[in-house]
Amino acid sequence: MIEHNLKFYLKKYFGYSSFKEGQEEVIKALIDQKDAVAILPTGTGKSMCYQLTGKLLDGTVIIVSPLLSLIQDQVEQLRFQGERRVLALTSNLTYSEKNYALQNLHTYKYIYLAPEMLQNNEVLARLQQQKISLFVVDEAHCISQWGPDFRPDYLELGKIREKLGNPLTLALTATASQQTINAIMSGLELDQSATKVVRKSVDRENIFLSAFKFNNEQDKLEKLFDLLNTIKGPGLIYFSSKKKANEITEKIKAKTSLKVAAYHADLDMNDRFIIQHQFLDNKLDLICATSAFGMGINKENIRYVIHYHLPGELESYIQEIGRAGRDGKQSIAILLYQKGDEGIQQQLSLNNIPDNQMIDYYINNKQQFAETDNESIQLLNKISNLYSSKEELQSFFLQRKRQKFNSLQQMLQYVDTNECKRQYILDYFEDNKKIDHHELCCQKLNDDLPLKELGLIFDENEQKSLKIEEFYKIIDKIFRT
DNA sequence: CGAGAGTACTATAAAGTACTCTCGGTGCATTATT
């Protein structure tokens, strides 16, 4: 009966009169007690999928989320909508707050937490006593992207689900290849044949795709500044190194009138918050960032995403350029590749994976490693708990190494390909969509950018009208208060 | 891994060569003290 009235409840609880693409399909599956994996582009209301379902089912919704800032945002959003039974079960709580929350878990409808928190015995025990209507994993690509070598607790979610009595489950993400979808399902121990997969095309038609290749850094820098002086912002430049992000930020400050800031993990939370909000308020023209910048940041009018270094895999690349053009207006992705840049990625990922010899040594001396401050050994400790034999562990890392190597090769092929870059991406994601290649779709390596045709040339008059817009905003604020 | 910076060497001196050194991302929770 409920499913016929989904729209009614959408209106009743959230005030919307229609669903966005994919939402209804996901919610219907969940109401039918069917697990679901949903790959929906950012901005299409992924969280509505569990928010509405939560209202309709009896019990608590648990949402596993990778970042405290994301949890914060979601909690605020729900509270703003009038839902008071929301809990952010994180390390931000004081000891007594946490205690109170755990004693009163049954009073909450939505509980947000990071996967690490589920490793806490008391938290798990309390949750086991709850009636859980839905177990949600937000940003579920983290299972395969972060689980194996960064945040291993992502690999434990399957076991956690089991300990919680295999509750109805929903995995959400914006970008996932078939390989990633499979990793998500097996990581969560979902029955592949019984899981509903809802997947919308990853294609973002309003983002023009381009790449350039350089023999030395001087040429690359020249191109970068050439771009910065002509292209319309606001924009984002991605780096694989914090040092480089700082360095180029200073160069841009010195050589242009652009307002720019660097953003990476060396900044404290306060600075990050300030920079993020200045950027959102159009008080910064661009940000030089590492991969720390992105998840959960919703700025609509980013016009360009430049990559000064290439990421380790196409999936990350798509996530990063996908931050452009959320408003649907024409935007551009420009990859600046210099021969040898892949060495950074190789060092960052590939060479950090232990080889057979190291695993051998680790297994033979395991007791010595039980208590350690070394993060990579802590990681090894966690992962080795998932496998019963040395051979299994070795093959896990070998497979990981191969996978990373292949991902990097595919990234390089993307740069080099003379075919339609958009089609290359869609084929990689096993997206069935076929592209009708046209002039404003993408271009071959080193072709001149059609910035004029794309309407992406920096225009002073437009800057002025932007300032008028700002002026109206200020007036608006004054009159409201 | 591999690029770029830095250093030592050569020996008319200056600038080129060869060598070594350095560097590289993402965050949760938790601890014991102030």
* Cβ contact A19:A7 at 8 Å: yes
- A65: nearest nucleotide, CA–C1' criterion: B28
- A98: nearest nucleotide, CA–C1' criterion: B29
Q: For A338 and B21, how far is CA from C1' in angstroms?
A: 22
More confident residue, A472 or A209: A209
- A153: nearest nucleotide, CA–C1' criterion: B28
* Cβ contact A184:A171 at 8 Å: yes
Q: Identify the residue whose Cα has the smallest distance to the C1' of B24.
A: A344
Q: For residue A108, how far is the Cα from the chain centroid?
A: 27
Q: Identify the residue whose Cα has the smallest distance to the C1' of B28.
A: A116
What span, in angstroms and rounded, lies between the C-alpha atoms of A342 and A337? 9
Q: Identify the residue whose Cα has the smallest distance to the C1' of B4.
A: A217
Q: For A204 and B18, how far is CA from C1' in angstroms?
A: 50
Residue A476 has pLDDT above 70, yes or no: no
**Chain B footprint positions (protein CB, under 7 Å):** 1-4, 23-30
Q: For A372 and B25, how far is CA from C1' in angstroms?
A: 22
Q: For A351 and B1, how far is CA from C1' in angstroms?
A: 9
Q: For A446 and B34, how far is CA from C1' in angstroms?
A: 58
Residue-level pLDDT at A481: 42
- A123: nearest nucleotide, CA–C1' criterion: B29
Which residue shows structure tokens 């194996």?
A148
- A311: nearest nucleotide, CA–C1' criterion: B25
Q: Tell me: the pLDDT tens digits for A29-46?
A: 999 999 999 999 887 789
Residue-level pLDDT at A62: 98
In the sheet where A235-238 sits, what is the strand order?
A207-214, A331-338, A304-307, A235-238, A286-289, A260-263
Q: Tell me: the pLDDT tens digits for A20-30?
A: 999 999 999 99
- For residue A105, give the H/E element and its range: none
Helix residue ranges, H only, A191-305: 217-230, 242-255, 269-280
Q: How large a percentage of chain A has pLDDT more than 70?
A: 95
Q: For A72 and B23, how far is CA from C1' in angstroms?
A: 35
Residue-level pLDDT at A371: 80
What span, in angstroms and rounded, lies between the C-alpha atoms of A316 and A238? 11
- List the Cα angle A419/A174/A163 in 5-degree steps: 135
Q: For A219 and B12, how far is CA from C1' in angstroms?
A: 38
Residue-level pLDDT at A477: 57
Q: Tell me: the pLDDT tens digits for A314-370?
A: 999 999 999 999 999 999 999 999 988 998 998 888 877 888 888 888 898 888 888
Composition of chain A by helix, strand, coil, percent to 5: 50, 15, 35
Residue-level pLDDT at A159: 97
Q: For A371 and B33, how far is CA from C1' in angstroms?
A: 22
What span, in angstroms and rounded, lies between the C-alpha atoms of A90 and A141? 21
Q: How large a percentage of chain A has pLDDT more than 90?
A: 77
Q: For A32 and B24, how far is CA from C1' in angstroms?
A: 49
Residue-level pLDDT at A347: 87
Helix residue ranges, H only, A256-389: 269-280, 314-321, 342-348, 356-364, 375-385
Q: Tell me: the pLDDT tens digits for A267-296?
A: 998 999 999 999 999 999 999 999 999 998
Residue A174 has pLDDT above 90, yes or no: yes
Residue-level pLDDT at A349: 84
- A343: nearest nucleotide, CA–C1' criterion: B1
What span, in angstroms and rounded, lies between the C-alpha atoms of A293 and A38? 23
Q: Identify the residue whose Cα has the smallest distance to the C1' of B30.
A: A91
Q: For A217 and B5, how far is CA from C1' in angstroms?
A: 13
What span, in angstroms and rounded, lies between the C-alpha atoms of A395 and A409? 21
Whole-angstrom CA distances from A48 to A38, A87, A170, A301, A344 are 12, 17, 12, 23, 39
Measured N-to-C along each axis, helices A217-230 and A242-255 cross at an angle, to the nearest 10 degrees, of: 50
**Residues in chain A, overall count:** 481
**Average per-residue pLDDT for chain A:** 92
Residue-level pLDDT at A297: 86
Q: For A345 and B22, how far is CA from C1' in angstroms?
A: 17
Residue-level pLDDT at A463: 60
More confident residue, A373 or A430: A430
- A342: nearest nucleotide, CA–C1' criterion: B1
Residue-level pLDDT at A465: 58
| Lookup: tokens for A195 | 């899981």
Q: For A216 and B12, how far is CA from C1' in angstroms?
A: 36
What domains sit in chain A, N to C, each tagged with a CATH number?
2-199 (3.40.50.300), 207-343+417-476 (3.40.50.300), 352-408 (no CATH)
Q: Tell me: the pLDDT tens digits for A65-124?
A: 999 999 999 999 999 999 999 999 999 999 999 999 999 999 999 999 999 999 999 999
Which protein residues, judged by their CB atom, are less than 7 Å from any atom of strand B?
A: A 66-69, 90-92, 113-114, 116-117, 120, 145-146, 149-151, 216-217, 240-243, 264-266, 290-292, 312, 338-340, 343-344, 346-349, 351-352, 375
- A90: nearest nucleotide, CA–C1' criterion: B29
- A240: nearest nucleotide, CA–C1' criterion: B25
Q: For A81 and B32, how far is CA from C1' in angstroms?
A: 40
What span, in angstroms and rounded, lies between the C-alpha atoms of A82 and A108? 14
Q: Tell me: the pLDDT tens digits for A123-132?
A: 999 999 999 9
- For residue A235, give the H/E element and its range: strand A235-238
Residue-level pLDDT at A378: 85
